[in-house]
Amino acid sequence: MGETRLKRELGLLQATMMGIGGAICAGVFVTLGYAATLAGTALIIAMALCGIINLFTMLSYAELGAAIPSAGGEYTFAKASFGGFLAFATGWFEWISNMFYASFCAVGFAYLVSYAAQAANLPIALNVPVVAVITVAVFTIINIKGIKETGGTETALVIVLLALLCIFTIWGLFGGQGTSNMELSAPGGFFGVLRAAAFIFVVYLGGEAIAVAQAEIKDPGKTIPRAILLSCLSLIIIYTIIAYVVLRVPLGDWAGKESPLASVAERFMGPLGVGIITVAGSIAALSSVNTSIMAQSRVAYALARDGYFPKSFFSLHKRFCTPYIATLVGSIFVAATAATGVVNFVAYATDFGFIIGFIFVNLSLIKLRRDKPNLYRPFKVPIYPLTPILGISTSLMLLFFLEPSTLFIGAELFIFGLIAYYTRMIGHYRSCLAAGGMNLGISAFSALLAYLIISASLPIPLSQNMILLIFGVAVFISIIYLIAFLLNITRKEGE
Amino acid sequence: MTKIRRLISRFIGGTQCVLGALASVFAFLVYISLSTRETIAITSEAEVYLYMFLSLVFGVFSILSGLFLLREAK
């Protein structure tokens, strides 16, 4: 298998930084304002609660990553335990989510740079899509160059980011500008805290990048669980301290604002604080672009390994030993969604995809414990089966709190995945028959719609011209799809 | 395959691809354009996503089905 050619070059530090950098994105810089309107000063509890929810699932990642250290993370775990469409769907959601996440972060970075250029009165006007595409191109080159370069870049970015956040928190804790008598209050009660937790959970997503790159981590049995747990605990500490610092400033000064961290930093440190938070936000976005491009390529590589994606995605660069075609194809998609603005209405889908991944990782852990009890596991989840069950139930709870738009787009991606899976797996002839059936369904639906419109049976106030237009279009679609149905079902096998 | 069937497959496949592309553009317009929403009497955000959902699923399916027919016509 070509997978043995992926080089194990990431040590504990680089893997941990990849987990931290993958998670710290723009989320923590923008979500606290709205979350505070839901949870009040109990925001700090919501933040810690999210960390604990994340920890349940990360423990599952640690056990499975150490036991099955192949590329692909969640997809590989689901493949080993369930196989078939469930494994494909997990990989599909992870692949799409990582690409949208990379695109979203690249656009976020471009906006921050453009804002900073305006604030600094630079004579040049930066074009946001162009900056986003250049950002994606740079990180694509780094990712193709090698996993060592990707890990090294990530480590450098995260160290600078943590240093900036350290300055912010130390200034906030000891600068004496805030109020020292913070009292816990939750205007929305426990339900409000839960809603806030669901809203800010996005700040913990992305840390599972370690599992995706597990085929390139040295001494995987020890390093993977350590890196996952270290990054997870570090994130809990970092975010809780940030929440505490932010809460030292009265809620009225920043709750509900679009950039609460910048508002608080301005209160503590003046314009310097805004500068520090802007630079930190930019670096956070860059580190997430880096890990997401890496993660999408490894998921696509693993999907190609098992025949779900074209074989070319499985090929490695002869010199750099990286899946360069998977990286390139995914990056083109990332750049296209960033440049056209499409990412703005699909970014929500990332939450859905990552949460689906969380559910399947926990389910895979339970299934593998039952089906393969003798599998060598260098790390085992404590208090099994309570931990994965808590991971599943808390992830389902997060799905329940997602916006309807997120669920719609998630369902849409699921349908596209289903189409891709069947087109790839059941062969051309049977796909055509399936397409024929769907053509008939659309034709019948359009004919029904045409009848309802012309007989004024629909309770929608439409002008006469609009009624005639919709009727005409529905009849046209009905005829076209009926003929398409006939053409598809009358074709001969092998044609 | 007869010449007539090939011709029909090409026409129907091409039409399906165009309809799919138009449906996808419509989904994008529903998302970005307030005037489009007013024209088709969309009143709530949930309806926006419902229209987008249906249009995109229809669009992707149409393009795929159209490509099958175009491939057959080759």
Q: Say what percent of chain A tops pLDDT 90.
A: 36
Q: Is the dihedral of CA A361, A366, A367, A368 positive or negative?
A: positive
Q: What would the mean pLDDT of B55-66 be, rounded to a whole number?
A: 86
- Quick: pLDDT tens for A130-175: 899 999 999 999 999 999 999 999 999 999 999 999 999 998 888 7
pLDDT band, residue A187 (cuts 50/70/90) = confident
Mean pLDDT of chain A: 86
A417 and A461 both lie in a single domain = no
- Quick: pLDDT tens for A36-80: 888 888 889 989 988 988 899 999 999 999 999 888 888 999 999
Q: Output the pLDDT for position A139.
A: 96
Is A404–B46 a contact, with Cβ atoms under 8 angstroms apart? Answer: yes
Amino acid at the residue B27: A
A407 and A445 both lie in a single domain = no
pLDDT of residue A341 exceeding 70, the answer is no
- Out of A345, A415, A416, name the one closest to residue B31 (CB): A345
In this structure, what CATH number is given to the domain that contains residue A127?
A: 1.20.1740.10
A66 and A212 both lie in a single domain = yes
Helices B45-73 and A428-454, interaxial angle, to 10°?
130
Neighbours of A128 (CB within 10 A): 19
Q: Output the pLDDT for position A1.
A: 42
Cα A132 to Cα A128: distance, rounded to the nearest angstrom: 6
More confident residue, B24 or A234: A234
Say if A80 falls within a structural domain.
Answer: yes
A433 and A421 both lie in a single domain = no
Q: Output the pLDDT for position A3.
A: 47
A351 and A468 both lie in a single domain = no
Q: What is the DSSP letter of A10?
A: B
Asked if A8 reaches chain B (Cβ–Cβ under 8 Å), the answer is: no
**Chain A residues whose beta carbon lies within 8 Å of the beta carbon of residue B66:** 484
A44 and A129 both lie in a single domain = yes
Q: Say what percent of chain A tops pLDDT 70.
A: 95
Domain boundary among A425, A452, A474: A425
Asked if A487 reaches chain B (Cβ–Cβ under 8 Å), the answer is: yes
Q: Give φ, ψ of A455 to 5 degrees.
A: -90, 10
Q: What is the DSSP letter of A42?
A: G
Domain boundary among A372, A392, A425: A425
Nearest Cα neighbor of A231 from A380, A46, A58, A52 is A58
Helices A349-371 and A43-67, interaxial angle, to 10°?
50
pLDDT band, residue A328 (cuts 50/70/90) = very high
Distance of CA A58 to the CA centre of its chain: 15
Domain boundary among A425, A450, A478: A425
pLDDT of residue A241 exceeding 80, the answer is yes
Say if A495 falls within a structural domain.
Answer: no
A5-19, A165-179, B5-19, B34-48: the lowest-pLDDT one: B34-48
A365 and A433 both lie in a single domain = no
pLDDT band, residue A35 (cuts 50/70/90) = confident
The residue extents of the domains of chain B are 3-73
**Chain A residues whose beta carbon lies within 8 Å of the beta carbon of residue B17:** none
Is A408–B19 a contact, with Cβ atoms under 8 angstroms apart? Answer: no
Q: How many CB pairs under 8 A join A and B?
A: 66
Q: Please report how many Cα atoms fall inside a 13 Å half-sphere around the Cα of residue A37, on the Cβ side.
A: 12
- Quick: pLDDT tens for A343-360: 666 666 677 878 888 999
- Quick: pLDDT tens for A268-279: 888 888 889 889
- A196 to chain B nearest CA, in Å? 21
Has the ipTM of the complex gone over 0.85? Answer: yes
A121 and A177 both lie in a single domain = yes
**Chain B residues whose beta carbon lies within 8 Å of the beta carbon of residue A481:** 16
Cα A40 to Cα A452: distance, rounded to the nearest angstrom: 51
Nearest Cα neighbor of B2 from A463, A238, A490, A313 is A490
Q: How many residues does chain A have?
A: 495
Q: Is the dihedral of CA A364, A370, A371, A376 positive or negative?
A: positive
A177 and A151 both lie in a single domain = yes
A419 and A448 both lie in a single domain = no
pLDDT band, residue A2 (cuts 50/70/90) = very low
Cα A387 to Cα A55: distance, rounded to the nearest angstrom: 9
Q: Output the pLDDT for position A379.
A: 92
H-run or E-run covering A35: helix A27-39
Cα A255 to Cα A269: distance, rounded to the nearest angstrom: 18
Q: Give the residue ranges of DSSP H helices in A208-305.
A: 209-212, 220-247, 260-269, 271-305
Write out the residue range of the structural domain in which residue A482 sits.
428-489
- A66 to chain B nearest CA, in Å? 39
Say if A19 falls within a structural domain.
Answer: yes
Contact of A215 with A69, CB cutoff 8 Å:
yes
Q: Give φ, ψ of A186 to 5 degrees.
A: -130, 95
A230-239, A279-288, B40-49: the lowest-pLDDT one: B40-49
